[in-house]
Amino acid sequence: MEFDFLIPINEDVLELNSRLTSQHLGSKMVLHTKDQFPDLDKIKIALIGVLDNRGDSKVISDVDLNYIRKELYSLYPGNWEASIADLGDIAAGNTVEDTYFALKNVVSSLIKKKIIPIVIGGSQDLTYAMYRAYDDLEQMVNLVSIDSKFDLGKESEAISSDSYLTKIILDEPNNLFNFCNIGFQTYFNSQEEIDLVEKLFFDAYRLGDVSNAIAIAEPVFRDADLVSLDLGSIKSSASGNFINFTPNGFNGKEICSLSRYAGISDKVSSFGIFNHTNSKQESILITQIIWYFIEGFNYRSNEYPYGSKESYIKYMVPLEEDKLTFFKSNKTGRWWIEIPFISPSNNKLKRNTLLPCSYEEYLVACGNEMPERWWKAQRKNVV
């Protein structure tokens, strides 16, 4: 069984949880103990730890997630209906590849059961294993990374937290439809990497742009399947990570807002939080990031691709050489733009008929300009 890879939650954590009131989050979660594995039939969200950080050369200690659990269990839930389980941890395998294999199988099994895994690592190269979990699902994957770097490396390099994206792009089967980086800092990325991201028609948003208008990231998450968060994208004064000091980055409020956007997206089916340094301050922030993801999940509206187009107002915007079609949800006021097919025989791309966008992009089109994200998506559809 895939879940045999998971080891039970630490006894000290369980002992603390037993002393919490019935109102605390830990009392409302189903936990993996040495005596019992959770019944997953009614579970919507599953927490998984991965105790392997060998992909990060900068680490100085083993992964310890016990403090995160203690803090998370001690929070109070919102007015939530979704049932949550903590499935325990995947121990580091004899090799990194063994860890990837275990994580891939666990995540794949959960997604097939329509359970969203929240994975806490461990180094960010574990994102590769989460991406590979989609191999059996026969779909293209949209990956969103909240990170100060693109994590591109040389093809000859061993996979690591700083180079995993190269392996995702190059390895077969190649199911990556789109990659988007949120929060990159230019001085951490070579011009060659920036040019490559542009050449591949990927999307990237600078830290300053997102911090100045956090809502520009919402449509990006609405089109994501897998979201990977590098805790190094958070400035040290907010995260408590002074091992790898970062003067600039997202603050606590911003990173929790991004996490909520990921949770509220009807399409996001897995979420990973990586490069934890074991500091208590960072652990507390991680618990709040998880809390806001779950909060967002409980406010999902089941819009596109699950809803009917009858629930939308259709807007036609004529341009000089084209005509763009927008849809606005009657339920939430959110916007989509239609991407016409060039190769309708490719069934994997059918789910990308509508591209989430913002009202501002609609206004750009009304000004007789082509929205950049529409142009990039259109180029990806060309076969």
Q: Each residue of 46-83: pLDDT tens digit?
A: 999 999 999 997 876 789 999 999 999 999 999 999 99
Residue type for position 224: A
- What's the half-sphere exposure (Cβ side, CA atoms, 13 Å) at 65? 29
- What span, in angstroms and rounded, lies between the C-alpha atoms of 160 and 170? 15
User: Helix, strand, or coil here: 66?
Assistant: helix
Q: Each residue of 312-323: pLDDT tens digit?
A: 899 999 988 778
* Mutual angle of helices 280-297 and 66-73, in 10-degree steps: 50
In the chain, the percentage of residues whose pLDDT exceeds 90 is 80
- What span, in angstroms and rounded, lies between the C-alpha atoms of 24 and 198? 46
Model confidence at 300: pLDDT above 50: yes
Q: Which of 44-58, 59-73, 141-155, 342-356 has the lowest mean pLDDT?
A: 342-356
CB atoms closer than 10 angstroms to residue 198 = 12
Q: Per-residue confidence at 341, pLDDT binned at 50, 70, 90? A: low
User: Helix, strand, or coil here: 171?
Assistant: coil
Helix (H), strand (E) at residue 308: none
Q: Each residue of 98-131: pLDDT tens digit?
A: 999 999 999 999 999 999 999 999 999 999 999 9
DSSP class of 135: G
Distances (CA, A) of 256 to 15, 141, 290, 368: 29, 24, 8, 35
What is the 3-class SS of 323-358, one letter each residue? EEEEEEECCCCCEEEECCCCCCCCHHHHHHCEEEEC
Is the CB of residue 184 less than 8 Å from the CB of residue 148? yes
Q: Per-residue confidence at 154, pLDDT binned at 50, 70, 90? A: confident
- Residue 345 has a pLDDT of 46
- Residue 4 has a pLDDT of 92
305 vs 46, which has greater pLDDT? 46
What is the 3-class SS of 20-61, one letter each residue? CCCCCHHHHCEECCCCCCCCHHHCCEEEEEEECCCCCCCCCC
Q: 323: Cβ–Cβ under 8 A, 6 or more apart, which residues?
A: 316, 317
Model confidence at 380: pLDDT above 90: no
Query: pTM for this structure?
Result: 0.93
Q: Per-residue confidence at 19, pLDDT binned at 50, 70, 90? A: very high
- What's the half-sphere exposure (Cβ side, CA atoms, 13 Å) at 252? 15
Helix (H), strand (E) at residue 293: helix 280-297
